[in-house]
Amino acid sequence: MMGVLFFGFTVLLLLMGFFVGVSFILAVVGVLTFFVIGLVAVFLVAYIRELISKDLQAPVVGTVFNQLIHFNRLFDYQTSLARRYSTYRLVMLSHSEVYTADPVTVEYILKTKFSNYGRGQYHTGIMRDLFGDGIFAVDGEKWRHQRKLASYEFSTKVLRDFSSTVFRTNAAKLASEVFVASAANRIMDLQDLLMKSTLDSIFKVGFGVDLNTLSGSDEFSNRFMKAFDDSNAIVYWRYVDILWKIKRPLNVGWEAVLKQNIEVIDNFVYELIRCKREQMKNGKLDRGKEDLLSRFLVESEKDPENMTDKYLRDITLNFTIAGKDTSANTLTWFFYMLCRHPFVQEKIAQEVREATEAEKNVSTDEFANKLTEAALEKMHYLHAALTETLRLYPAVPVDGKISEEDDILPDGFKIKKGDGVNYMAYPMGRMTYIWGEDAEEFRPERWLDNGVFRAESPFKFTAFQVSNCSYPSSLP
């Protein structure tokens, strides 16, 4: 701690333009060296203490530094460990981080003992600046309230119909863009296009506004999108940057950039809320309005004390964050898999042609109109190929919880209060003890029973974290 303070003080002096002599620099280097040696020694003691502990705990495979060493291929590194141990742990200074690929343990933490495994202050502390009190950054009562609201809203026909129309319209715009690029034999960045198209759709569903980032014509939308993406990336970077808590109050480095980006986002969102509230006051807001923000605004009349502008900003923004990268990255992997498996591509095209009864050379808009719910329900092979993509490339590859009390996992491993318990969706998709010998193969057929899609246990296929992303009417 002293080392950190001293380091922080030195940086401060440098920042403030103080003259620093050679002897002072040498002293700083000495202190830093002392600090690093001290840190390694403390870690070593913690590591040895855990290794010789008589408690039945998950096998130790290293310290948190092992993850940093393998950071560039982190999920493959975790996969190689999961092949040896279905549950293992890494030693941190104050606690252990347990990682599991065992469906029985996954069921235990996400369902049986759900109440003991929340996000905890560690995760919520990292997310709070951007996510506020939204569903991703809260536990307990606030989480329950938003989940109930979401379960109700997402089950309403009006929101479902609205989202389908919005997604269909934007998919048609995207298809036209791809068609033009392909006709001109132009290379395109599909992930970038999918990110923009998904943001346009989710933003319209969430806030009722067309951003049109796909067309790139609106300077302000482009600025908003950049601020949104950069903030997301910086927040996740905090998991690696141990100095973020010092940089934040000093307003330096990425923390300063994050602050500016959040300002851009907030200015836009609060202005939207203000306009809609104004319309509501003047009786100009259509009460049958379909977007999420308008629906929450109407709801806020019943509970004005709790559903403040800040709360509405947090709820709606969290939905946008939740849906954008997950959907766009899944689709990117999906098209990548189709390029690598032309046979699967051909089967999907055939199924889509049959289900929509679309003529050859039909226009994109006409084709989009044929994508009715009834047509989609016939597309079992497409459903299987998308699910197979998520099995191998889950949008959330590893997800973590914190244990609120001492506990014992089903395999007998002891968990201490404050330990992290993470389930590993990406490694799980590659385990032969879960999916059989062909676990690493892309094979949509594994999801079909006589041509009909058959879901697997959500504790084996964890891409949607059991039911947390599907809004069941019964809450845990």
Q: Which helix (H) or strand (E) holds 400?
A: strand 398-403
| Contact between residue 323 and residue 202 where contact means Cβ atoms under 8 Å apart | yes
**In this complex, which beta carbon is closest to ligand HEM, that of residue 8 or of residue 120?**
120
Quote the least distance from Cβ 123 to ligand HEM, whole Å. 8
Interface pick for ligand HEM out of 92, 104, 209, 396 (rule CB under 6 A): 396
Residue 453 interacting with ligand HEM (CB under 6 A)? no
**In this complex, which beta carbon is closest to ligand HEM, that of residue 191 or of residue 465?**
465
* Alpha carbon distance 394, 462 (integer Å): 8
Q: How many residues bind ligand HEM (CB under 6 A)?
A: 19
Quote the least distance from Cβ 323 to ligand HEM, whole Å. 3
* Alpha carbon distance 162, 207 (integer Å): 12
Q: Which two tokens stand for residue 103?
A: 């469906």
Binding mask 166-205 for ligand HEM (x = CB under 6 A): ------------------------------------x---
| Contact between residue 221 and residue 248 where contact means Cβ atoms under 8 Å apart | no
Quote the least distance from Cβ 224 to ligand HEM, whole Å. 17
Map the footprint of ligand HEM across residues 327-346, applying CB under 6 A.
327, 330
DSSP-derived 3-state class of residue 399? strand
Quote the least distance from Cβ 395 to ligand HEM, whole Å. 4
CB contact burial 437-476 (16+ within 10 A = b; e otherwise): eebeebbbebbeeeeebeeeebbbbbbbbbeeeeeeeeee
**Helix, strand, coil tally for the chain in percent (to 5):** 65, 5, 30
Interface pick for ligand HEM out of 58, 82, 135, 382 (rule CB under 6 A): 135
Q: Is 436 left (phi over 0), alpha (psi -120 to 50) or beta?
A: left
Map the footprint of ligand HEM across residues 71-100, applying CB under 6 A.
none
Binding mask 210-249 for ligand HEM (x = CB under 6 A): ----------------------------------------
Residue 395 interacting with ligand HEM (CB under 6 A)? yes
**In this complex, which beta carbon is closest to ligand HEM, that of residue 199 or of residue 355?**
199
Interface pick for ligand HEM out of 70, 147, 160, 277 (rule CB under 6 A): 147
Q: Which stretch binds ligand HEM (CB under 6 A): 29-37, 297-305, 337-345, 392-400?
A: 392-400
Look at the alpha carbons of 208, 214, 216, 221 in this order and tell me if their dihedral is positive or negative: positive
* Alpha carbon distance 234, 361 (integer Å): 44
Quote the least distance from Cβ 295 to ligand HEM, whole Å. 13
Quickly count: other Cβ atoms within 10 Å of residue 173's Cβ. 19
* Alpha carbon distance 32, 6 (integer Å): 9
User: Applying CB under 6 A, which residues contact ligand HEM?
Assistant: 135, 147, 150, 202, 319, 322-323, 326-327, 330, 390, 395-396, 399, 463-465, 468-469
